[in-house]
Structure 1
Amino acid sequence: MTSLACYLGDDRKQKHATTSGIQHTTLAAICAAMFQSLPRSDQRRKGAEYVYGLLAADGRKSIRNMAALFGGRAAEQRLHHFVCSSTWDWVPVRHALSQFMVRAAPPQAWVVRPMIIPKAGDHSVGVDRRFLSDMGHVVNAQHAIGVWAASEELRTPLNWRLRLSPAWVEDKERRVQAAIPDGFISKSIGDGAVDAFLQMTACGGLPVRPIILDARDLDVAGTVGTLREAGVPFLVRLPGAVRLAVTDSALTGHHADVLPAHHIMRAARHLRRPAVWRGGGDAMPHTCLVAGVQVRLPGDAAPASLLATAEIGEDWPGQLWLTNLTNCDAAALIRLTGLMVRVDEDFEEIADQVGLRDFVGRSFAGWHRHVTLASAAYAVSVLTHRENAAVDHVS
């Protein structure tokens, strides 16, 4: 096993660590795997320093705070150049991290979720004023989309897409200042979410698992159509108003209708049955009600299942989901959607600890390199937690 000192260059640099010995071992293993595509040893060392700094630096994970672990001003210039001005390609580095994590913690699903990064100014690449429905007001922020490998055991982000509005991609001066690639175009949030997933899986070597995403604010038909065309199994959360055609023989009298999803599931309330549900974290499992009905989107002949869940005693239906996994048990699929809850909980606990939202540079490439390395730090954090929990259990 390669040691952390091999990458950081000096055992004395570990004296600043606030991380456990298990974390050092995990960090070394991840760095050895993910930086294989970097041709020079000094690049691999800088990459390891940056990931280590994200884990060990106090407070905000600025390059200055991280560089304080490695020698101050000279280290700051070195790390800044490595992330903001170097030419290394983050795509193979992310793919190597993905392969490592798939081996370390095989995923049950891929969870796609947004990441909002509030900003005070308007110079950071992609920053715009936008209304966020879950917050209920306009924020000045970057809007990124992440893809998590998720299982009940462990969840970690592996790929990212930064959303750029037309105001960014159609402004030549902004494109030049942020070094936005010539081929990059503005896409809707839904298309960006699907792109982030398809880009990750296009490299090969990753298992086929359902993609789970929240489409309540997206173009449902467009998102589902793109996923179908790509041959991807999906679980998509729906708004209640989306209209579907009923094809299920269990709902007699509705086959000629195209109805809102929540109306369909109200008519299917007699199909409800209990299922064990785990809300996330270490919460004790509890029982909710679930039901599934065969449907299709208008203009789409492909079969789909509309699923609903609600807590016992609450209004029916609660959450609504659409899936092309029509032969799977509805209760099992609904339990799978609980991974989205766990990803959200993990994000709130870990993201700022490893600086996912702390990049302050202006360049497109710099942002992507930073979140790639922060994803590695995130992976080290969750793997270390798992190892520490195992040690505590044995002791």
Structure 2
Amino acid sequence: MVAVRCDLEDFAAEAFEPFARAEQRRWGEVYLRGLLLDGGRKSVEPMAARLGEDGNRQALAHFVTTSPWGAAHVRARLAWRMQPVIKPTALIIDDTGFLKDGGASACVSRQYTGTAGKVTNCQAGVSLHLASNNASAAVNWRLFLPESWDPAASKADPKKVARRASCAVPAELGHVEKWQLALDMIDETRSWGVDVSQVIADGGYGDTAAFRLGLEARGLDYVVGISTTTTAHSEEARPCTAGYSGRGRRPVAAYPEPARRVKDLVIAAGKVSARPVQWREGSRPGSGRSGHKRMYSRFVALRIRPAGREIRKATAGTELSVRWLLAEWPAAEDEPVQFWLANLPDNTSLPVLVRTAKLRWRIENDYREMKQALGLAHFEGRTWPGWHHHVTLVSVAHAFCTLRRLTRSPKETASA
């Protein structure tokens, strides 16, 4: 226990080096220990009760809620610390819900969250994770501000707008869509010198053409989930221009056939085109070489030309770009069940496409670990700075656990 404590102190000293005062660094390390201790809720009061002589509830509450330290500085140091360890091959973007009973916390609103699988009263946080096959770490966060909290929005709720001041929501902040928050986080993370050229996201982001175009404008590769209704042309389709009489505006080149749903394109290719791919071995017992169950399914990969109003507007009537369409079509299913769009090179193999798309499991694993063991959703404060402080500190605690796991000897890992 002493060795772990010393390791934690060293790690905390590195993570909290940007803090202006020694007192902030002290309470940062104490809060971190509170998150790592076994126990139930990881809000301030129960953590203080478990921390013994360091369990100063008032000091901990002040540190996480009102102490003037910048979360971005800690996140940058966390990214610098974790990048050489994780050796990330991708940035993964997603969002998670923080369920709330009341409406007093910053940016709480009735909105859909995958955490509950329905529309409910919650906050929504967008996160960015460094990820490789072996490990991942959340290094950037944004709290989503719904239109009901934006005084300039047509859907503004006067009661919620009135709570902005008491929740310390910065006056200049308004409603920004989640996909734009994701692009902003990518820009910020790259400004720290953490330059990872590949992005993975689910359909909540991939369905938005502006998000994909934003990634391409930044020179980034992507594999993103899409819904079945996303439309596209086949790779062989070519635009043509109607005859021009010499008067009026010259007609824009258009595709003679309407775009089709990606689901229909895959079904037209046929189940016979699906190929088996194993992308990793899971954690459950099975017949894999490590004694775990193989993660295995069948997939179809097609070259297509994504369509849609925003795409056509961006291409200004020129030929639509060719992209990869990946679809999972299990042997037991009559239709494909999941779809991704990718701008990876045209010589990318099917196993690489699948393994890249499936790397998104790491962010789900991070959320589960941070929520179940480290109290990600347990913060009971109501302020905008407090939320950002808490999720940043949980990310630091999660990174510490990841480092401990990666640096264990095989004997330690087996005993654990």
The normalised TM-score by structure 1 is: 0.85
SS in 2 for 1:99: helix
Give the direction of change, closer, same or farther, for the CA distance of 1:190–1:267 in structure 2 (3 Å limit): same
Residue number in structure 2 paired with 1:195: 184
Q: Which amino acid aligns with 2:63?
A: F
Residue number in structure 2 paired with 1:184: 173
Q: In the TM superposition, what is the alpha-carbon distance from 1:348 to its structure 2 partner?
A: 2.2
The separation in 2 between residues aligned to 1:306 and 1:356, in whole angstroms, is 35
Indicate which of 104, 108, 112 corresponds to 1:127.
108
Cα-to-partner distance string for 1:316-342 (whole Å, 9 max, x where unaligned): 422210011133223212112222224
The separation in 2 between residues aligned to 1:342 and 1:280, in whole angstroms, is 12
Residue number in structure 1 paired with 2:223: 235
Structure 1 residues not aligned, in runs of 5+: 1-19
Give the direction of change, closer, same or farther, for the CA distance of 1:57–1:288 in structure 2 (3 Å limit): closer
The separation in 1 between residues aligned to 2:38 and 2:332, in whole angstroms, is 47
Residue number in structure 1 paired with 2:46: 65
Residue number in structure 1 paired with 2:24: 43
Q: Does residue 164 of structure 1 match 2:145?
A: yes
SS in 2 for 1:177: coil
The separation in 1 between residues aligned to 2:50 and 2:112, in whole angstroms, is 39
Residue number in structure 1 paired with 2:300: 291
Cα-to-partner distance string for 1:336-373 (whole Å, 9 max, x where unaligned): 22222243134224423111111111110111011100
Worse overlay, 132-141 or 208-217: 132-141
Residue number in structure 2 paired with 1:364: 384
Residue number in structure 2 paired with 1:304: 323
Q: Which amino acid aligns with 2:353?
A: L
Q: Does residue 261 of structure 1 match 2:267?
A: no
How do 1:13-92 residues align onto structure 2 when only pairs under 5 Å count?
20=1, 23-56=4-37, 58-70=39-51, 75-92=56-73
Confirm or deny: 8 A CA contact 1:26 1:383 kept in the other structure.
Answer: no
SS in 1 for 2:360: helix
Residue number in structure 2 paired with 1:139: 120
Worse overlay, 77-86 or 322-331: 322-331
Cα-to-partner distance string for 1:101-145 (whole Å, 9 max, x where unaligned): 112221222221211111111001111112347855331111111
Residue number in structure 1 paired with 2:208: 220
Q: In the TM superposition, what is the alpha-carbon distance from 1:208 to its structure 2 partner?
A: 1.5
Q: In the TM superposition, what is the alpha-carbon distance from 1:27 to its structure 2 partner?
A: 2.4
Q: In the TM superposition, what is the alpha-carbon distance from 1:280 to its structure 2 partner?
A: 4.0
The separation in 2 between residues aligned to 1:91 and 1:306, in whole angstroms, is 36
Confirm or deny: 8 A CA contact 2:41 2:378 kept in the other structure.
Answer: yes
Worse overlay, 129-138 or 264-273: 129-138
Indicate which of 344, 349, 366 corresponds to 1:325.
344
Q: Does residue 210 of structure 1 match 2:198?
A: yes
Give the aligned length: 371
The separation in 1 between residues aligned to 2:195 and 2:12, in whole angstroms, is 22
Confirm or deny: 8 A CA contact 1:125 1:364 kept in the other structure.
Answer: yes
Residue number in structure 2 paired with 1:13: none
Give the direction of change, closer, same or farther, for the CA distance of 1:22–1:379 in structure 2 (3 Å limit): farther
Cα-to-partner distance string for 1:241-293 (whole Å, 9 max, x where unaligned): 111122258xxxx9944110111112233543222233643542244222222
Give the direction of change, closer, same or farther, for the CA distance of 1:353–1:133 in structure 2 (3 Å limit): closer
Confirm or deny: 8 A CA contact 1:276 1:287 kept in the other structure.
Answer: yes
Q: Which amino acid aligns with 2:216?
A: R
Q: Which amino acid aligns with 2:380?
A: V
The separation in 1 between residues aligned to 2:177 and 2:195, in whole angstroms, is 27
Give the direction of change, closer, same or farther, for the CA distance of 1:373–1:132 in structure 2 (3 Å limit): closer
The separation in 1 between residues aligned to 2:263 and 2:146, in whole angstroms, is 32
Give the direction of change, closer, same or farther, for the CA distance of 1:248–1:157 in structure 2 (3 Å limit): farther
The separation in 1 between residues aligned to 2:14 and 2:256, in whole angstroms, is 54
Q: In the TM superposition, what is the alpha-carbon distance from 1:33 to its structure 2 partner?
A: 2.4
Identical amino acids, percent of aligned pairs = 29
Give the direction of change, closer, same or farther, for the CA distance of 1:152–1:313 in structure 2 (3 Å limit): same
Confirm or deny: 8 A CA contact 1:178 1:362 kept in the other structure.
Answer: yes
Higher Cα radius of gyration: 2
Residue number in structure 1 paired with 2:283: 281
Confirm or deny: 8 A CA contact 1:280 1:345 kept in the other structure.
Answer: no
Give the CA RMSD over aligned residues: 2.7
Residue number in structure 2 paired with 1:334: 354
Give the direction of change, closer, same or farther, for the CA distance of 1:241–1:364 in structure 2 (3 Å limit): same
Q: Does residue 109 of structure 1 match 2:90?
A: yes
Worse overlay, 59-68 or 70-79: 70-79
The separation in 1 between residues aligned to 2:207 and 2:377, in whole angstroms, is 27
Worse overlay, 232-241 or 283-292: 283-292
Confirm or deny: 8 A CA contact 2:206 2:226 kept in the other structure.
Answer: no
The separation in 2 between residues aligned to 1:329 and 1:21, in whole angstroms, is 49
Structure 2 residues not aligned, in runs of 5+: 152-157, 238-254, 285-291
The separation in 1 between residues aligned to 2:300 and 2:3, in whole angstroms, is 44
Confirm or deny: 8 A CA contact 1:169 1:185 kept in the other structure.
Answer: yes
Give the direction of change, closer, same or farther, for the CA distance of 1:115–1:79 in structure 2 (3 Å limit): same
